Amino acid sequence: MTSLAGLADGVFAWIQPGGESGVSNAGVVVDDDGLTIIDTLMVRSQWEPFAAAVAELDLPVKRVLLTHAHIDHVGGTQAFRNAMVLGSPATSDLLDQPMPVDAYKAFMSAFAEEFDDLAELGTRPVSHIIDDAAQLTPRIELLPASGHTAGDVMALVADCDVLFAGDLCFFGVTPLAFQGDPATWADVLDAVADLADVIVPGHGPIGSATEVRELQAYLRHCVAGTIPPGPWDAWAERAERDPINIEKAAMLRTGDDGIPPSMLKAIGLS
């Protein structure tokens, strides 16, 4: 069973094993005024135990930071009803759209039965837009970026050298760039590798600069169009995601920012 893992004084990670589609990580940081939650998981069976563990800390939840708009990070916002919700402009725009429930069911069929509950509950809108780097609390620095999506935000806790990278980092799991830009993403990872010793990814186990460099090399191979043998041979979800990432990079080179046909197929739209 997943539990809150202490990374440093008042800094916790919630790491869901596997890290496949719909199975993401979250974090908690304690400041003097209360808690900041970093991402909220997806369906009730995931965020209820997380919210219960957070409640046991017995401190007010002041802030929810959404690293990006994907449903496996924003689905549990209703579990933290009194907190301000922080996200990028792109995250805010996406949360204002109707939830594409049928696509979620097709793409993450393991959770199909829980999406109706999620659709009924809905997600909370972003209340505070993050469009520039900012010191959110004495402990947390917000760092906007892009690459996985058009509006990624990372949270750096410099006093203990921990970075919550959101989906700019996938460790042990193949990244998914259907709404991103593999070339930009690979470039951004140069900075990410230097930000902190301990890196909490959006999916997979906690890692460090070593895993960031492996991810960067994989993404550069996607941009080049062929993926040679490498550490990624042990990653989950290669068969489905390699074609999506390669197609996306090739489409962007021709100026096409659309969803790759292989992704449309994966979500049941072709």
Q: Write out the residues near Zn ion by the rule CB under 5 A.
A: 70, 167
Asked whether 212 and 193 are in contact (CB, 8 A), the reply is yes
Nearer to Zn ion, 10 or 19 (CB): 19
Which candidate, 22, 28, 15, places its Cα nearest to that of 42? 22
Nearer to Zn ion, 137 or 252 (CB): 252
Minimum distance from CB of 205 to Zn ion (Å)? Answer: 17
Minimum distance from CB of 68 to Zn ion (Å)? Answer: 5
Nearer to Zn ion, 152 or 247 (CB): 152
Minimum distance from CB of 58 to Zn ion (Å)? Answer: 31
Nearer to Zn ion, 10 or 66 (CB): 66
Asked whether 219 and 177 are in contact (CB, 8 A), the reply is yes
Nearer to Zn ion, 20 or 167 (CB): 167
Minimum distance from CB of 244 to Zn ion (Å)? Answer: 13
Q: What is the 3-state secondary structure (H, E, C) of 49-89?
A: HHHHHHHCCCCCEEEEECCCCCHHHHCCHHHCCCCEEEECH
For 173, phi then psi, to 5°, come to -135, 140
Minimum distance from CB of 148 to Zn ion (Å)? Answer: 6
Q: Which structure tokens are listed for 126?
A: 């972003």
Give per-residue burial for 17-43: e unless 16+ CB within 10 Å, then b. Answer: eebbbbbbbbbbbbbeeebbbbbbbbb
Sheet with 162-170, side-by-side order of all strands: 134-135, 140-145, 152-157, 162-170, 198-203
Q: Which structure tokens are listed for 256?
A: 């096409």
Minimum distance from CB of 146 to Zn ion (Å)? Answer: 12
Nearer to Zn ion, 34 or 100 (CB): 100
